[in-house]
Amino acid sequence: MSTFYFIAFLSVFFSILVITAKNPVHSILYLILTFFTFTVHYILMNAQFLAVVNFIVYMGAILVLFLYTLMLINLNKESEPRKSNLVKIVGVIAGACFLAVIVAATKTLGTSQPVVLNNPGLGLVKNLGKILFNEYLLPFEISSVLLLSAMVGAVLLATKDTKTA
């Protein structure tokens, strides 16, 4: 149980560092650490498939893409537009509303009992694969054809017609 609280503390700590970091590259690196702590949480909850997907998709693909995109764009302080005072006031009001909602939500929760798994094989990939390819085979195949057609459409839209009339 103490491992859970330590990893939860690290998740919150790295999340705060993502928000407060001055350098955007450091912010993305802290976000990678935050997602790594989420992966550890998934492993502690016996959800190995979610842990692997979180590790591969979020940490391995999306955040690396963010990092490369951030390194390719030019972030000069001189080119950044000045924000008006109205935008700053709206941001403070929105942040105060968000803080009020968080405080209200934590007061209504109270204490909860720890989750005890009745089935220890609940989050295993083997069981997920059996259900996915037995009961949900048709929706799985339809979604794969839909994604394939979306990818072909994106490629066709991205290519330009080089013929001149």
As a whole number of angstroms, the distance between CA 47 and CA 51 comes to 6
Q: CA separation (Å) from 137 to 52, 64, 101, 134, 141?
A: 22, 32, 41, 6, 6
What Rg value do the Cα atoms of the chain yield, rounded? Answer: 22
DSSP string, 117-139: -S-TTTT-HHHHHHHHHHTTHHH
Res 15 pLDDT > 90: yes
- Over the stretch 141-153, which tens digit does the pLDDT of each residue have? 998 899 889 888 8
* 2-75+87-123, CATH topology level: Four Helix Bundle (Hemerythrin (Met), subunit A) (1.20.120)
**pLDDT over 80 at 83, yes or no:** no
Q: How far is CA 82 from CA 6, 64, 75, 86, 87, in A?
A: 40, 29, 14, 12, 10
Q: What proportion of the chain, given as a percentage, has pLDDT over 90?
A: 20
DSSP annotation of 77 reads T
The pTM of the full predicted model, rounded to 2 decimals, is: 0.54
Tell me the backbone φ, ψ of residue 89, rounded to 5 degrees. Answer: -65, -40
Report d(CA 103, CA 37) in Å as an integer: 24
Q: Which of 10-19, 72-81, 120-129, 133-142 has the highest mean pLDDT?
A: 10-19
